[in-house]
Chains A and B, each alone.
Chain A
Amino acid sequence: MSNESDRAAIYEHRDAYNGTLREGDLEGWLATLSDDCVFLPPAMPAVKGKDAVRQWAKESFFDPFDSELEYDFEELEFSGSSAFGWGWYRHTLTPKDGSEVVQLRGKFLDIFRREDDDQWILARVSFSTDHE
Chain B
Amino acid sequence: MRLIAPIAKRVARLALVLTCVALVSYGLMMASPIDPVDAYLGPQMAQVSPEQRALIAQRWGFDEPPAVQFGHWLRQLVGGDLGWSHVYNQPVSEVIAQRFQRSIALLGSAWMLSTLVGFSLGVLAGAKEGSKLDNIISTYAFITASTPAFWLAILAVLLFSVTLGWTPTCCAGPAGALNQEVSVATRLHHLLLPVTTLALLGIANITLHTRTRMLELMRSDVATHAFAQGASRIDVAWRHGLRHASLPAITLAFASLGELFGGSILIEQVFAYPGLGQATVAAGLRSDVPLLLGIALFTALFVSVGNMIADSLYGVIDPRIKAGGL
Is B truly associated with A?
no
